[in-house]
């Protein structure tokens, strides 16, 4: 796989009219997202209903369900959109499991990395609502949470995708995580 700049150049070439460039960029992004999804699903043993392939395919379908191909600015833009789509797929899967008549404890959606200070499992709807509120307050922090939690990128990978320093990613991750913990604690006490 080529560097992150290569994908951005391919996306720019596709905007200039090269149809093969978009296909190559998407193939590279698909491979990278598949590898990340496999890693995330392996570490999240409670997620038993989705394979990495199903997760990435569903996310790609959500991104490309429109009739017109979206305009991509860069690899980081595409990664952010894919992270958001993967978040929605995982949240929807958790909602479906939660809607079952008698969900098993092993099927509960565990969000321990995001909510490490909480003693309970988090309701997927509450997390989704909290992430939407965070995006209204600070879009970059919400993107960092999505990329870290739902795609599994580390601070250096997020920094490269967003064009910021790894220390900024770490600082904003800590702030976003603390904000989410507070918001989810407030919702649970209501």
Q: How far is the first Cα of the chain from the last one, in angstroms, to the nearest whole number?
A: 49
Report how far residue 114's alpha carbon sits from residue 190's, in angstroms, rounded to the nearest whole number: 20
Going by the DSSP 8-state scheme, the letter that residue 105 receives in this structure is G
Model confidence pTM above 0.85: no
Four-residue CA torsion sign, 153, 16, 58, 80: positive
**Tens-digit pLDDT profile for residues 109-158:** 444 444 444 434 667 788 888 999 999 999 999 999 888 877 778 888 88
Phi first, then psi, for residue 44 (nearest 5°) are -105, 85
Phi first, then psi, for residue 39 (nearest 5°) are -65, -45
The interaxial angle of helices 4-15 and 75-99, nearest 10 deg, is: 100
Report how far residue 94's alpha carbon sits from residue 12's, in angstroms, rounded to the nearest whole number: 36
37: left (phi over 0), alpha (psi -120 to 50) or beta: alpha
Range of the domain at 165: 4-189
**Tens-digit pLDDT profile for residues 161-181:** 888 999 999 999 999 988 988
Our count of domains for the chain comes to 1
């Amino acid at each position: 796989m080529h560097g992150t700049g290569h994908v951005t150049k391919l996306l720019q070439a596709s905007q200039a009219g090269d149809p093969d460039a978009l296909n190559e960029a998407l193939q590279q992004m698909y491979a990278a997202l598949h590898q990340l999804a496999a890693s995330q699903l392996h570490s999240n043993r409670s997620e038993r209903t989705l394979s990495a392939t199903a997760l990435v395919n569903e996310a790609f379908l959500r991104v490309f369900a429109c009739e017109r191909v979206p305009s991509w600015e860069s690899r980081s833009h595409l990664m952010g959109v894919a992270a958001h789509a993967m978040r929605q797929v995982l949240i929807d899967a958790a909602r479906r499991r939660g809607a079952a008549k008698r969900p098993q404890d092993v099927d509960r959606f565990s969000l321990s990395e995001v909510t490490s200070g909480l003693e309970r499992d988090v309701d997927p709807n509450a997390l989704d609502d909290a992430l939407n509120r965070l995006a209204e307050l600070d879009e970059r922090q919400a993107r960092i949470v999505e990329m870290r939690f739902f795609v599994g990128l580390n601070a250096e990978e997020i920094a490269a995708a967003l064009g910021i320093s790894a220390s900024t990613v770490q600082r904003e991750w800590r702030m976003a995580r603390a904000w989410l913990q507070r918001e989810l604690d407030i919702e649970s006490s209501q």
